[in-house]
Amino acid sequence: MAELHTCKPTLGAVVVAGVAAQTDPLALFDGGKAPAFNLAIGATEDMLRGLLRGEHSSLHLSFNDHAANYLDATKERADGDLPDDEWVSESERDKALGLNQVWTLQWYPNSPVGFCRKRASSLDALLSWVAENGRTA
């Protein structure tokens, strides 16, 4: 069994700059409101690569993994998945469960054994957590 490293969660919630959940995501790139987290793709890639320290480390970004099992996020949590210590904050957990939208970042910082995992309701909130806490996770 792989060793699970607990990553330190933060307490603050990150707001997605007033963009409603029903907003067409493509509108963000076509004159719509930009997300609060505003890094260029290259800078985002550099930040995520900064989580990886080992020669055989890896990273996985996913959205709504629970849907592959025909479950909603609330049912997935009731089944014992989506534990509290994996969320960037309690408010992000509550928001994600309410919206049934779960972004997950899982990374193996040093080797294929032992990983960190964080979840949020939006990619914006997840990447903001990484920007603030990733180097200490």
Distance between CA atoms of residues 86 and 120, nearest Å: 9
Q: What band does 104 get if pLDDT is binned at 50, 70 and 90?
A: very high
Contact 66, 86 (CB under 8 A): no
**pTM of this prediction exceeds 0.85:** no
Distance between CA atoms of residues 48 and 111, nearest Å: 16
The pLDDT tens digits for 39-82 are 677 888 888 888 988 888 999 999 999 999 999 999 999 998 99
Per-residue pLDDT at 87 exceeds 90 = yes
Q: Which of 4-13, 33-42, 94-103, 111-120 has the highest mean pLDDT?
A: 94-103
Three-state secondary structure string covering 15-50: CCCCCCCCCCHHHHHCCCCCCCCCCCHHHHHHHHHC
Distance between CA atoms of residues 43 and 59, nearest Å: 16
